[in-house]
Amino acid sequence: MAPVDEPAALLDRMLGGDRRALARLLSLAESEPARFDPIADRVAAAAHARAGKTLRVGITGPGGAGKSSLIDAWIKVARARQETVAVLATDPSSERSGGALLGDRVRLAQEAPDDGVYFRSVATRGAAGGLAHTGFDQADLLDAFGFDWLLVEAVGAGQGEIEVSFACDVTVVVFAPGGGDAVQALKAGLMEVGDLFCVNKADLPGADAAAATLRSVVELAPARGAAQPAPVVLVSATTGSGVAELPARVRALGQEKIASGEAERRRRARLERRVRHLLQRDFERRLRDDATLARLRAETPAAASGGPRRIAAEIAARLLR
């Protein structure tokens, strides 16, 4: 029998509903991937077996749009309906140290204790896309545990923050009135991955105008796999206006994607994305130990023989043998 703190034993306990085992595995996936790797495929299989039961919702958008406040309101609506919610909130972090730069999740984390809500804040560790590569494993863990909702909050907005759309079934893009965010998002390509666009702070002046602008922009950039332009809704996390209807609308979008086959297509795209991540990760690990690169770091540019392309080709040929 495996020791109780071994990953395999922790996974067995987690699948039996042990929240402490879930917390430990989430930490292993983030900080000790070498220990997590042997059970990663079991976790993915457990999540796949529950496909369609946990709805993964990515929530992204410009800073200041009120994403955390909207999630807070979403949780209250879900719990009133006896639905369970897990939140995976990403913070930007240093690429070198991995330390989170923001601490703006305190309010959510300090909600009254509730067994139907699980919160996890995770550093991006410099990963482009608003979600660390290990975030895919963490999403699988939360999915396999059996929550009704998995809300993944991604930092920022733009081409660099669309990774969350691969990890999730439905992507909600949140804006606030004013600031020209919709036009900037169109330039960045974010509009292409949104399944639903949400103008938060609808109680503020300019909300209706912002929604009208978004609708015209969405017409120019249809969402992936969508026959119709993505819907644009007005909500206010502060007053609660429109919030009660939002989860049901997102759930309906998820069901539509299952019926159309789009959900399965996205799951295949997610698998391909994860395979690419793993190949890149393993290649980087081997590259760090490569003797040629170590020698180049120790030599002056004049002493390093050969051009960068030839050296890169030699290293690649050796590592891929």
Per-residue pLDDT, 303 = 52
Per-residue pLDDT, 137 = 92
The model's confidence at residue 100, banded by pLDDT at 50, 70 and 90, is very low
Q: Which residues pair with 121 in a beta bridge?
A: 89
Residue 138 makes CB contacts below 8 A (sequence gap 6+) with 26, 29, 30, 88, 120, 122
Whether residue 95 has pLDDT greater than 80: no
The model's confidence at residue 103, banded by pLDDT at 50, 70 and 90, is very low
Mean per-residue pLDDT for 311-321? 81
Per-residue pLDDT, 78 = 95
Residue ranges and CATH numbers for the domains of the chain are: 40-260 (3.40.50.300), 273-319 (no CATH)
Sign of CA dihedral 27, 10, 109, 58: positive
**Tens digit of pLDDT for each residue in 49-87?**
887 789 999 998 887 888 989 999 999 999 999 999 999
* CA–CA distance, 95 with 125 (Å, rounded to integer): 5
By C-alpha distance, which of 64, 261, 56 is closest to 170? 56
**Tens digit of pLDDT for each residue in 268-292?**
998 998 898 888 888 888 888 777 7
b (16+ CB within 10 A) / e for 15-35? beebeebbebbbebbbeeeee
By C-alpha distance, which of 279, 64, 91 is closest to 180? 64
- What value, to the nearest 5°, has the Cα angle with vertex 158 and ends 268 and 60? 70
- Give the chain's mean pLDDT: 82
pTM for this predicted structure: 0.85
Per-residue pLDDT, 126 = 52
